Amino acid sequence: MQQKFMDNFTRSPEFPFLQSMGITHLFQSFEAKEHELGYLGLLHVWYHEKVWETEWIDTQEKGIELIAYLQKAKMYDEVKLVEIGIHKMNQYTKMERMKVIKERIDRYDNKDDDEDIVLN
């Protein structure tokens, strides 16, 4: 599973650019629902000194602890960044909707003006 994941990961188009975008830790959880085995483990992939390294974590608790530690160790709050991005997208879509509504109102107003003109 780990080898298959890493093969797919390294072939993905975004792979060469991840570390330059600041993405240096990835997590992939594995489960076996068909055979009722449940949780198999968590694969931690991280970028260190120009090499992607891997680590297999057996328990969910250890995985959650590591993820929480890495989030707290960052100089910025990822959750706040996502919230800001969502807020900006909502502002932009609201502005675009208002433009469309204004255009439709103007088109409707101009349509009525043209019909009132009487030519002799």
Residue 114: predicted pLDDT: 54
The residues, any chain, with a CB within 8 Å of residue 26's CB and separated by 6 or more, are 9, 18, 44, 45, 46
Q: Are 32 and 38 in contact (CB under 8 A)?
A: yes
User: pLDDT class for 115, splitting at 50, 70, 90?
Assistant: low
Dihedral sign, CA of 103, 109, 112, 114?
A: negative
Q: What is the pTM of this model?
A: 0.58
In whole angstroms, how far apart are CA 33 and each of 1, 39, 40, 41, 64?
15, 8, 10, 13, 21
How does pLDDT run across 28-74, given as a tens digit for each residue? 888 877 767 777 889 999 998 889 999 999 888 999 999 999 988 88
Residue, of 60 and 113, whose pLDDT is higher: 60
Query: Residue 70: in which H helix or E strand, if any?
Result: helix 60-73
Segment 76-89 shows an average pLDDT of 90
